[in-house]
Amino acid sequence: LFEESEIREGDLAAVAGVEKMPAHLEFTVKISGRVMVSCDRCLEMFEYPVDCENHFLVKYGEEHDFNDPDIITLRADEHELDLKQFFYEFIHLALPIKRVHPADQFGNSTCNPDMIRKLNEHLIDDDKNRDPRWDQLKRLMNDN
């Protein structure tokens, strides 16, 4: 269904509540559970908790208003609303931009040590590659 998803698997529960108003429907979607995502540092999969609550409105009309992404327009002849895409987006928006293994109780990284070792072997030392002619200019920029 969603081939490009960064989530490989998960165990989630979603609860959707609807409050009917005279001119629209107010949806509240609560999603909680866990998903498996790839670590941005060591590339191993790890479990990340998800707990989010989102709100959006559904109104009846003929034209969709693209100015507000939290308002969905449902034509009068439509009687169902597929929430799969909303769930997908809400779950992905609940994930942090940078996904790394959480630290252990001592504050140490729980990333794959072999991969971290390989990354450290290929680090570029900026001091070795620095052109000393630029040092004076950098000092001037930092002083201002």
d(CA 138, CA 32): 48
Residues 80-96 have pLDDT tens digits of 888 898 899 999 999 99
The average confidence (pLDDT) of the chain is 86
The structural domains of the chain, with segments of one domain joined by +, span 9-121
Question: What local confidence, expressed as pLDDT, does residue 128 receive?
Answer: 65
Residues 90-139 have pLDDT tens digits of 999 999 999 999 999 998 889 999 998 998 888 776 666 677 777 777 77
Whether the CB-CB separation of 73 and 60 falls below 8 Å is answered with yes
For residue 33 the two structure tokens come to 């559970």
Entry pTM: 0.74
